[in-house]
Amino acid sequence: MQTGLIYDYKDEDSFEIELVARRRGIEVTPIQFTNLTICITDLPRLQRQFNEIQAAINRCTVKARREHAAMLLQTLDKPVINPFQVELIVNSKRDTLLTLAEKGIKTPKTLFFPQNVNKKAKTKIRAIADTIEEELGYPTILKPDRGSEGRNVLKADDRRELEAGITNIRRGTANPLGIIAQEFFLKSFDLRVVVSKIAEKQPQYLGTLVRVVPRMDEFRTNTSIGGYPLSIDLPMRIRKEASRVAEAIIDKALEKGLPSHWSSFILGIDMMPRVEQEEDQKIKYLARSLDKCFNRIREIKREPSYVSNQEKFENRRRRVEEVYREYRQEKAYLDVSQKIQEVVDEKTTVVLPHEVNSSLDYWFNTKNMIDVNLAENYVDCILSTFK
């Protein structure tokens, strides 16, 4: 068995997958996609270029590059984790929400305006702002369709901020077209529910990464901008809703032409709880104490990755795991996770999916919070395509 491992650059996530695959008897061909020259008008040449691999795990971080890699390999009749049709859906917030709406899955109220405006288009700015005020009120969230890691996500608390935000959502790689406005949830934390799916089987729940805001005045929980990772035992009602989301994504991918025997994937389903203001403030207050607890993790993240030296990499992995175990035993961590567990366990707490991610940075936070090494699941998925 020969599989390609495709990436923009080699990081801990990619190297972990490579090591696990080799341990499980799969020959791995690392492919740095950014270094390739691809003649898209010469199919025989393309087939020779990728002839030695039978399938591929796609770990490109840039959405457009990940889509191109998946489309290219599937054109050559090589299955990819995650499949091109899945990437097309989940890389767009608009398309994800439309897919979930089609299946009757409730999500935060969201408006899409298929235009972008500059500061000179005052009439259009006022018209869009009037609609958002009427439909969503304040605060409201503005975001690009294909953004990631919380970049360019804005909260508008009044008319001035709303009109400024409308002009700031510009066309570009992260936003080919349009403005997305979404109802605001008080957001001291959110849930990233990790699921995997083996072709022609039901989605499997793997675990939940809780992400807590890094400051009292912050509404974004992304760990890339300082959000704190935690773990809870997700209630069954929310697990089932996450499975419905995964099933909706795969149903739409099959409609778009994905062969059922290639329908394996790993996704992170982001879900927001609707929390009362008092509970929201309590969690933010408790979370202030996490900063000092997290210092050792910040320090070890800054160390060299050692992705070209297996012995040093595995030694660092053991130290990373130990630092996270210590973090999870801190009183501040236990206090915050207990409070969040209470809120989520409450049956009246509404939890809604709002976006889906197909390329999870798992080696640090996710792996050490949910106690699952996703590299094993990536290998399970790729093995299913060989069968």
Residue 8 lies in a domain: yes
Range of the domain at 374: 186-386
More confident residue, 176 or 290: 290
Q: What is the rounded distance in angstroms from the CA atom of residue 327 to the CA atom of residue 321? A: 10
One domain for residues 365 and 288: yes
Task: Give the residue from 161, 183, 205 where a domain finishes.
Answer: 183
pLDDT at 130 over 90: yes
| Greatest C-alpha distance within the chain | 63
How many domains does one find in the chain? Answer: 3
229 is written with which tokens? 């990772």
One domain for residues 133 and 31: no
Q: Which string of DSSP letters, residue by residue, matches 303-334?
A: S---TT-HHHHHHHHHHHHHHHHHHHTSHHHH
Residue 104 lies in a domain: no
Residue 103 lies in a domain: no
One domain for residues 68 and 151: no
Residue 260 lies in a domain: yes
One domain for residues 164 and 229: no
Residue 274 lies in a domain: yes
One domain for residues 175 and 199: no
Task: Give the residue from 183, 214, 231 where a domain finishes.
Answer: 183
3-state secondary structure of 284: helix
**CA distance to 182, 221, 224, 240, per residue, from 141 (Å):** 5, 14, 19, 27
One domain for residues 218 and 309: yes
Q: Which helix (H) or strand (E) holds 142?
A: strand 140-143
One domain for residues 212 and 360: yes
Average pLDDT over residues 162-176: 83
Supply the CATH number for residue 167's domain. 3.30.1490.20
Supply the CATH number for residue 11's domain. 3.40.50.20
Residue 128 lies in a domain: yes
Tell me 35's DSSP state: G
One domain for residues 76 and 9: yes
One domain for residues 172 and 129: yes
Global confidence as pTM: 0.94
Q: What is the rounded distance in angstroms from the CA atom of residue 298 to the CA atom of residue 319? A: 13
Residue 96 lies in a domain: no
Task: Give the residue from 164, 183, 202 where a domain finishes.
Answer: 183
3-state secondary structure of 160: helix
Average pLDDT over residues 287-309: 94
pLDDT-derived band of residue 387, with 50, 70 and 90 as boundaries? low
Supply the CATH number for residue 225's domain. 3.30.470.20
One domain for residues 174 and 240: no
Tens digit of pLDDT for each residue in 305-317? 999 999 999 999 9
Q: What is the rounded distance in angstroms from the CA atom of residue 126 to the CA atom of residue 159? A: 10
One domain for residues 19 and 63: yes
Tens digit of pLDDT for each residue in 60-89? 999 999 999 999 999 999 999 999 999 999
One domain for residues 206 and 305: yes
